[in-house]
Amino acid sequence: MHVDNAILSRRSVRRFLPTPVPRETLAHLLRVASQAPSGSNIQPWQVHVVSGAPLAALSRALQDAFDNEPEQHRAEYVYYPREWFEPYIGRRRRCGYGLYETLGIHRDEHDKRRAQARRNYTFFDAPVAMILTLDRRLDTGSFMDCGMFLQSLMLAARGQGLHSCAQAAIAPYHRVVREQLTLDDSELVLCALAMGHADPDAPENGFVPVREMPERFTRFYGD
């Protein structure tokens, strides 16, 4: 797949088929993504690849925490602004409302909205979840490095006909992740990446948020 097509066809898939992804394919994706740039080549990312019975156990534990004790869990880093403002809050709302409209969920159907949010913790039925972590002693630049690695991994997956969904929603439940996986105390849980074959019949997989045109965010200087 040409890199342009990989970028243009990448989207957040929220329902996967149960089709397994061979380990050798996953190993290939990680080898490709390992070429992502990082400041001074420090390569700060760590990846925990989970499937099969360990994935089922992790999913059960996350759903239990989401159902019974969500107020007891907080991410170890701040993702979104504490106070929203335009144009970002408008974009966020259009994305969220668009997804729920695609699923036929109205704004006042709070139980259905919560049920859809809960699907983050089933990893949207993906057969593979990758948990990305970062040494907490590193600083802001390493978050950018990990973002470049994550994008490389998602594009490599497209090259193999796979889809993915990056999930910062996992970050508040880092204690649950630690209980289920072998993480060093120094590891900060950044996000999960659900990966597999997209369900072509799922309406949510047809939702693609509108992107801004380059002239809205670009300034050219010189010829």
How do residues 122-166 score in pLDDT, each as one tens digit? Answer: 999 999 999 999 999 999 999 999 999 999 999 999 999 999 999
Domain count, the chain: 1
The verdict on residue 215 lying in a domain is no
CATH number of the domain enclosing 153? 3.40.109.10
Residue 39 CA, distance from chain mean position: 22
Question: The whole model's pTM is what?
Answer: 0.95
pLDDT tens digits along 39-51 = 999 999 999 999 9
**Preceding amide of 87 cis, omega within 30:** yes
For residues 122 and 59, the answer to whether their CB atoms sit within 8 Å is yes
**Domain carrying residue 174:** 3-79+121-203
Whose structure tokens read 């991994």? Answer: 153
The verdict on residue 151 lying in a domain is yes
Residues 6+ apart with CB under 8 A from 78: none
The verdict on residue 103 lying in a domain is no
DSSP string, 62-91: HHHHHHH-GGG---SS--S-SS--TTHHHH
The verdict on residue 147 lying in a domain is yes
The verdict on residue 188 lying in a domain is yes
Amino acid at 151: Q
The verdict on residue 72 lying in a domain is yes
Residue 27 CA, distance from chain mean position: 19
Beta bridge partners of 132: 47, 191
The verdict on residue 75 lying in a domain is yes
Phi, psi (degrees; rounded to nearest 5) at 167 = -130, 95
d(CA 74, CA 37): 30
Residue 217 CA, distance from chain mean position: 24
The verdict on residue 97 lying in a domain is no
Statement: residue 67 has pLDDT above 90: yes
108 three-state secondary structure: coil
pLDDT tens digits along 4-36 = 999 999 999 999 999 999 999 999 999 999 999
pLDDT tens digits along 158-194 = 999 999 999 999 999 999 999 999 899 999 999 999 9
Statement: residue 223 has pLDDT above 90: no
